[in-house]
């Protein structure tokens, strides 16, 4: 299939934006922008930040793959906000579904049955692999992981959970303990019964592997050693991102995930796939495990399930685990579990995906446009060490030296150390593209409804911006 038809796109003829009361303001209304900025700076305490060192961009409007600041500068959203905005800003079907749901039943507590909650759970079960047929809804990804771990612990009677270095699993106590990146450091000790292992990362192999296949094999041998040394009888679950997201779009080598499945089976360990970032179409599959032909015991999701229009996450549960709780009470719950507004947007997401062929579209745009374009850049940009990904989820690994793989900026760089990456990002923003950068990498993760023209335009901007990185490269 080729994708030529524009889907939901931000028009270029936008001249302003409505405020909360519906009053229209032309772009450039400095008083309005000042008001938004002042309230934010005086009263909003932001995530993961030194509060005096940030300058949040006041955003006036969003549509399709574009959002605008109060001066009317348009940004092509190449990070889908936090890689959650899969159907773009203000998708009319999702907005309508939320409005209609609000008009008939805004909320109902989780112990009652509700039509959209049930329909969304059924639709998720229908596309989930294997015998994963039950859904526990949460408010987001962290609490999805938190509850998945709780299920695994109860079912196995074991406590320890293994997860990867270079991972992010969320900001609740167990989820942040499972996280294998610097966001965990300030939050320790949290849940002590967590151990980390190295996943496959061929470009920066912890195993001195010479090929992708060898990397996968050695990473499995390492995982088995960790299981042995931690004590299989103490391990409730292995929890991994199917494709590691924020920490590098690390695509698993052929056979790796099947090997993880086999190890979990051998030692009676629950396999939890964290698909918070990669589920719901990001790589052109409902669930990313489908691309690797493996069936986990539990899959956690959030973000793309309804593009984050109303907070929603959850755990898809295998029949075996669900039946364990037939006569044993599951000790977990949330006031907003399966919130009707969020579920209505989730049902609408399924309708849009099916009607507009979103999964096929993602695979097509990824293989026909992104992959050949960015692979071609390896020939023209000395700062580009490697490109990897699939669907609409890619990483550009920026380096100072292609021989040694020395990253463009150090691991977890801040301040002056991070300047080269900040300059690349600034060049993108100045040319109207909002990029996703993390450490020495730029990720490409636009909304799945991005038009072909928008995608090519954004890639052209990144191509130019890489010229900034090239100046630091040997």
Ligand X SMILES: Cc1ncc(COP(=O)(O)O)c(C=O)c1O
Interface residues with ligand X (CB under 6 A) are: 82, 140-142, 145, 168-170, 241, 245-246, 274, 276-277, 302, 313
Nearer of residues 82 and 125 to ligand X, judged by Cβ: 82
Close Cβ partners of 229 (under 8 Å, ≥ 6 residues apart): none
Q: Quick check: 395 and 442 in contact, CB under 8 A? A: yes
Taking the complex as a whole, how short is the minimal distance between the CB of residue 174 and ligand X, in angstroms?
A: 12
Nearer of residues 3 and 437 to ligand X, judged by Cβ: 437
Taking the complex as a whole, how short is the minimal distance between the CB of residue 337 and ligand X, in angstroms?
A: 14
Nearer of residues 257 and 277 to ligand X, judged by Cβ: 277
**Environment class of 206 (CB within 10 Å of its CB; exposed 0-12, middle 13-18, buried 19+):** middle
Q: Quick check: 177 and 195 in contact, CB under 8 A? A: no
Torsion, Cα 48 409 57 429, to 10 degrees, reads -150
Taking the complex as a whole, how short is the minimal distance between the CB of residue 277 and ligand X, in angstroms?
A: 4
**DSSP string over 103-150:** HH-----TTS--HHHHHHHHHHHHHSSTTEEEEEEESSHHHHHHHHHH
Nearest to 76 by CA among 26, 128, 11: 11
Q: Quick check: 149 and 134 in contact, CB under 8 A? A: no
Nearer of residues 224 and 285 to ligand X, judged by Cβ: 285
Taking the complex as a whole, how short is the minimal distance between the CB of residue 276 and ligand X, in angstroms?
A: 4
Alpha helices, H only, 193-233? 212-230
Taking the complex as a whole, how short is the minimal distance between the CB of residue 246 and ligand X, in angstroms?
A: 6
Residue with tokens 């639709």: 123
Taking the complex as a whole, how short is the minimal distance between the CB of residue 190 and ligand X, in angstroms?
A: 15
Close Cβ partners of 200 (under 8 Å, ≥ 6 residues apart): 212, 215, 216, 219, 250, 252, 253, 256
Taking the complex as a whole, how short is the minimal distance between the CB of residue 139 and ligand X, in angstroms?
A: 8
Nearer of residues 147 and 246 to ligand X, judged by Cβ: 246
Tell me the residue number closest to ligand X, measured at CB.
141
Residue with tokens 């990001």: 282
Taking the complex as a whole, how short is the minimal distance between the CB of residue 346 and ligand X, in angstroms?
A: 14
Torsion, Cα 443 447 450 454, to 10 degrees, reads -40
* Pair of tokens at residue 207: 């195993």
Nearer of residues 154 and 169 to ligand X, judged by Cβ: 169
**DSSP string over 167-186:** ----SSHHHHHH--SGGGGG
Taking the complex as a whole, how short is the minimal distance between the CB of residue 240 and ligand X, in angstroms?
A: 10
Taking the complex as a whole, how short is the minimal distance between the CB of residue 460 and ligand X, in angstroms?
A: 28
Alpha helices, H only, 198-316? 212-230, 256-267
Close Cβ partners of 346 (under 8 Å, ≥ 6 residues apart): 116, 120, 123, 124, 305, 306, 312
Nearer of residues 146 and 356 to ligand X, judged by Cβ: 146
Helix axes 92-104, 340-356, angle to 10 degrees: 150
Q: Residue 137: CA atoms inside 13 Å, Cβ hemisphere, count?
A: 30
DSSP designation for 244:
B
Taking the complex as a whole, how short is the minimal distance between the CB of residue 198 and ligand X, in angstroms?
A: 17
Nearer of residues 241 and 290 to ligand X, judged by Cβ: 241
Helix axes 419-430, 452-470, angle to 10 degrees: 140
């Amino acid at each position: 299939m080729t994708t030529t038809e524009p889907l939901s796109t931000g028009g270029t003829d936008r001249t302003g934006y409505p405020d909360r009361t519906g009053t229209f303001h032309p772009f450039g209304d400095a008083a309005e922008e000042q008001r938004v900025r002042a309230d934010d700076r005086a009263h909003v305490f932001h995530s993961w930040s030194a509060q005096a060192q940030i300058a949040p961009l006041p955003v006036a409007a969003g549509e399709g793959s574009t959002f605008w600041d109060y001066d009317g500068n348009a940004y092509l959203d190449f990070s889908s906000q936090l890689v959650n905005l899969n159907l773009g800003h203000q998708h009319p079907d999702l907005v309508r579904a939320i409005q209609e749901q609000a008009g008939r039943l805004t909320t109902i507590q989780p112990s009652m049955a509700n039509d959209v909650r049930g329909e969304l759970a059924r639709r998720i079960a229908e596309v989930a692999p294997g015998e994963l047929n039950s859904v526990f809804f949460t408010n987001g990804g962290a609490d999805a992981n938190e509850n998945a771990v709780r299920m695994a612990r109860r079912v196995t009677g074991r406590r320890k959970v293994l997860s990867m270095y270079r991972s992010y699993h969320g900001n609740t106590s167990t989820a942040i303990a499972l996280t294998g990146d610097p966001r965990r450091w300030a939050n320790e000790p949290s849940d002590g019964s967590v151990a980390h292992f190295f996943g496959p990362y061929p470009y920066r192999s912890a195993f001195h592997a010479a090929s992708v296949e060898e990397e996968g094999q050695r990473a499995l041998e390492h995982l088995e050693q960790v299981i042995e040394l931690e004590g299989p009888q103490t391990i409730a679950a292995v929890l991994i991102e199917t494709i590691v997201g924020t920490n590098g779009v690390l695509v698993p080598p052929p056979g790796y995930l099947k090997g993880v499945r086999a190890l979990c089976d051998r030692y009676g360990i629950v396999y939890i796939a964290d698909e918070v970032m990669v589920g719901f179409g990001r790589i052109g599959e409902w669930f990313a495990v489908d691309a690797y032909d493996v069936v986990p015991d539990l899959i956690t999701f959030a973000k793309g399930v309804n593009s984050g229009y109303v907070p929603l996450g959850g755990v898809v549960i295998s029949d075996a685990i669900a039946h364990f709780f037939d006569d044993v009470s599951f000790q977990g719950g949330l006031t907003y579990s399966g919130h009707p507004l969020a579920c209505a947007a989730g049902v609408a997401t399924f309708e849009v995906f099916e009607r507009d062929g979103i999964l096929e579209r993602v695979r097509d745009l990824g293989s026909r446009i992104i992959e050949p374009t960015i692979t071609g850049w390896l020939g023209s940009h000395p700062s580009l060490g490697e490109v990897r990904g699939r669907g609409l989820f890619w990483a550009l690994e920026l380096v100072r030296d292609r021989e040694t793989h020395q990253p463009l900026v150090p691991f977890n760089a801040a301040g002056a150390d991070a300047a080269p990456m900040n300059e690349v990002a600034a060049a993108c923003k100045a040319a109207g593209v909002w990029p996703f950068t993390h450490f020495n990498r730029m990720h490409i993760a636009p909304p799945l409804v991005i038009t072909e023209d928008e995608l090519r335009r954004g890639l052209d901007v990144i191509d130019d911006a890489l010229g900034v990185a090239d100046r630091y490269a040997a």
